[in-house]
Amino acid sequence: MATTGLSEKIRNLAEVRYVRPAIRAGRQQFSIRVRDLLNDLEGEGKGGASRTPQVCSALQTAKFLNANGLEIEAVDGPPKKQSPTVVVHYRVRGNSLSSAEAQKSTGGPVVPSRSESPSERALRLTEKLRGLLKEELAEYGGGEAFLRWVRGYDEEDAA
């Protein structure tokens, strides 16, 4: 008899508590706070804060994303992205639940989600860019340090 590893249990819990309800509600974007999932795990007696790196990793694996039809839009938190303060922002790719799965999970017929309007698409894409720029700026130590790098000199050179 095969046992399910903790990472798999974390992914299953995230799917049941966060992904499925968001998809059933017709949301195209949603977020999962690592702290919330850690609290859920603690409530089930499966550890708490010591599991932070494992939770952060499990929420970002291709296995989790592909199984639920998701894409990561952004990951907010400290630079290493291994903290209870991490928030993973997802976007649903198409209809991630098959009709049969969705009917079973909702207990009723599936209502197709409307397609994305041009303004919604523009917002989604600019938010992705904002997330990339935010990470890039953090790597350089902030906006001013990034501008110094772009201009090609340091404060010491200017003095």
pLDDT tens digits, 19-40 = 999 889 889 999 999 999 998 8
Inform me whether the pLDDT recorded for 112 exceeds 70. Answer: no
What is the residue-averaged pLDDT of the chain? 78
**Tell me, what DSSP letter sits at residue 77?**
S
Q: How many of the other CB atoms lie within 10 Å of CB of 15?
A: 16
CA–CA distances in Å: residue 9 to residues 12, 31, 82, 108, 149: 5, 19, 19, 27, 44
Range of lowest pLDDT (11-15, 101-105, 122-126): 101-105
Q: Sketch the domain layout of the chain as residue ranges.
A: 1-113, 116-159
Q: Which amino acid is at 116?
A: E
Burial of 100 from C-beta contacts in 10 A (0-12 / 13-18 / 19+): exposed
In angstroms, rounded to a whole number, what is the distance separating the alpha carbons of residues 97 and 87?
23
Higher pLDDT, 18 or 135: 18
Beta carbons of 49 and 59 less than 8 angstroms apart: no
The reported pLDDT for the residue numbered 14 is 93
pTM flag (> 0.85) = no
* Ramachandran region, residue 8 (left: φ > 0; alpha: ψ -120 to 50; beta: rest): alpha
Going by C-beta distance under 8 Å and a sequence separation of 6 or more, which residues neighbour residue 138? 79
Check whether 119 has a pLDDT greater than 60. yes
Average the pLDDT over 114-140 and give the result.
77
Rounded distance between C-alpha atoms, residue 148 and residue 77, angstroms: 24
pLDDT digits (tens, 9 = 90+) for 64-102: 999 999 999 999 988 888 889 999 999 998 754 443 344
